[in-house]
Chain A
């Protein structure tokens, strides 16, 4: 007996370039949940990556010798093709979100580490001298002078890391059916154009929106930078 798979619309059966009715009908059961998963995958990866990179960058800022090894480690991670790294981790952590997150976090490290460190190092020695002259302790200097002054460079790093992670998280669907990559790979496998185009558009829109949102966030938390721009 041939199972009844139901009838697609005329557009879906002809596999036209894009069928609005399919996208509308499957927003709730396919597109929207995958979009939410994608945002979660990205947020966790950038959050954890940021915590590790910040700690590493602070270490390298204080102890110069630490920069070489960590820089080389993160650069090496960065050159591994994502498609391979996801598969390589499967035997270790299984077909789980952990596998995907380990790889995604790994890819954020180089960008974040370099930007945080560059931001900290580009602070004028005069400013640090002035802070010392005012009797600031090391901790006060770090929290009130160094980190705020490095903020624009740090945020630039977070921007790049976020959009890169959104892109790599799509590839992650090759091993784990989560995020917007799932409908893209599924659509490619079955050559159903509407599916991969709809998910592709959502992935691109998400990346552009996240980028724009981080720019606005940056402007909001560094008001002094804008004052200098308009002055």
Chain B
């Protein structure tokens, strides 16, 4: 049966956030700590590996397919698995989020570096650059849009998925969203708004970092929210 939708629930959600600033802040910080730690670990694993594979032009099958497999993993199933192996809490959820965050970063870093114009790399080599210099000063700057598209896809995904941490005692805003009985629909809506704002904020922050790292001649317009960076591969 269709009942009229009450848009007032959004106002109630905002009111919930404003009425409980301390509590919302506490949960938001938990959410950020969990997402931040997961993204940091994923970056430390996936970025060097993707860049290296792209630099030596090897392992394309693994690098591309890990992205596809990773995207296919249902998040709540991963968190349930983590529960059996790591027990309840932060570590379990973080491990699951890292597994979800690695594939897009790895695949995009690989593709970005792999597809840099070979002539540019050849020219750099001719100028006497070392392999490390070639990576840092030629390949990475040119691959930056794709590399960052991967990082941003991943981080938005992690922030949104960290909501499910509530089912494994990982804390964060999911504690409110998964507990309608305790906080009512207005709490759910308020906390969900916080997650959305957080996701947009994290995406925007990485876009800013991308802009700062991009050499001036390559700077275009600030790109929009990336849902899925790699289209059609």
A residues at B contact (CB < 8 Å): 17, 75, 78-85, 87-88, 91-94, 110-111, 114-115, 118-119, 152-153, 156-157, 159-160, 163-164, 166-167, 170-171, 174, 180-181, 184-185, 187-188, 193, 196-197, 199-201, 203-204, 207-208, 210-211
Q: Are A87 and B74 in contact (CB under 8 A)?
A: no
Q: How many Å lie between the Cα of A203 and that of B81 in the bound state?
A: 12
Closest to A197 in B: B84
A35, chain B: closest CB distance, angstroms = 13
A172, chain B: closest CB distance, angstroms = 10
> Which chain B residues lie closer than 8 Å to A167 at the CB level?
72-76
Closest 9 CB pairs of A and B: A84-B192, A200-B77, A207-B72, A153-B232, A167-B74, A163-B72, A196-B80, A156-B232, A203-B74
Task: Pick the most buried of B68, B178, B189: most chain A CB atoms within 10 A of its CB.
Answer: B68
> Which chain B residues lie closer than 8 Å to A152 at the CB level?
232
Q: Are A91 and B9 in contact (CB under 8 A)?
A: yes
- Further pairs besides A79-B199, A166-B72, A171-B76: 20, Cβ < 8 Å: A75-B227, A79-B200, A83-B178, A84-B191, A84-B192, A88-B189, A91-B5, A94-B1, A94-B3, A111-B228, A156-B232, A171-B164, A188-B80, A196-B83, A200-B74, A200-B76, A200-B77, A201-B77, A203-B74, A210-B72
Q: Which of B159-205 contact A (CB under 8 A)?
A: 160, 163-164, 167-168, 174, 177-178, 180, 185, 188-189, 191-192, 195-196, 199-200
Closest to B190 in A: A84
B residues at A contact (CB < 8 Å): 1-6, 9, 68-69, 71-78, 80-81, 83-84, 156, 160, 163-164, 167-168, 174, 177-178, 180, 185, 188-189, 191-192, 195-196, 199-200, 224-225, 227-228, 231-233
B82, chain A: closest CB distance, angstroms = 10
> Which chain A residues lie closer than 8 Å to B69 at the CB level?
208, 211
**What are 23 A-B contacts with C-beta separation under 8 Å?**
A79-B156, A79-B160, A80-B196, A81-B192, A81-B196, A84-B163, A88-B192, A92-B4, A93-B2, A94-B1, A94-B3, A114-B227, A157-B231, A160-B71, A163-B71, A163-B72, A167-B76, A184-B80, A200-B76, A207-B74, A208-B69, A211-B68, A211-B72
Known: A119-B232, A170-B74, A188-B167. A91 touches B80 (CB 8 A): no
> Which chain A residues lie closer than 8 Å to B191 at the CB level?
84
Q: How many Å lie between the Cα of A114 and that of B232 in the bound state?
A: 11
Q: How many Å lie between the Cα of A83 and that of B180 in the bound state?
A: 11
> Which chain B residues lie closer than 8 Å to A196 at the CB level?
80, 83-84
Q: How many Å lie between the Cα of A203 and that of B73 in the bound state?
A: 8
Q: Are A160 and B228 in contact (CB under 8 A)?
A: yes
Q: A188 touches which one: B72, B83, B228 (CB < 8 A)? A: B83
Q: Are B195 and A84 in contact (CB under 8 A)?
A: yes
Q: A166 touches which one: B74, B192, B227, B228 (CB < 8 A)? A: B74
> Which chain A residues lie closer than 8 Å to B233 at the CB level?
156
Q: How many Å lie between the Cα of A17 and that of B80 in the bound state?
A: 12
A106, chain B: closest CB distance, angstroms = 13
Q: A115 touches which one: B9, B174, B232 (CB < 8 A)? A: B232
> Which chain B residues lie closer than 8 Å to A210 at the CB level?
72
B14, chain A: closest CB distance, angstroms = 14
Q: How many Å lie between the Cα of A87 and that of B4 in the bound state?
A: 15
A118, chain B: closest CB distance, angstroms = 5
> Which chain A residues lie closer than 8 Å to B227 at the CB level?
75, 78, 110-111, 114
Q: How many Å lie between the Cα of A156 and that of B232 in the bound state?
A: 5
Q: How many Å lie between the Cα of A93 and that of B3 in the bound state?
A: 7
> Which chain B residues lie closer than 8 Å to A91 at the CB level?
3, 5-6, 9, 185
Q: Are B225 and A184 in contact (CB under 8 A)?
A: no
Q: How many Å lie between the Cα of A88 and that of B12 in the bound state?
A: 12
> Which chain B residues lie closer than 8 Å to A78 at the CB level?
227
> Which chain B residues lie closer than 8 Å to A199 at the CB level?
77, 80
> Which chain A residues lie closer than 8 Å to B160 at the CB level?
79, 81-82
Q: Are A87 and B72 in contact (CB under 8 A)?
A: no
> Which chain A residues lie closer than 8 Å to B228 at the CB level?
111, 114-115, 160
Q: A92 touches which one: B5, B75, B156, B189 (CB < 8 A)? A: B5
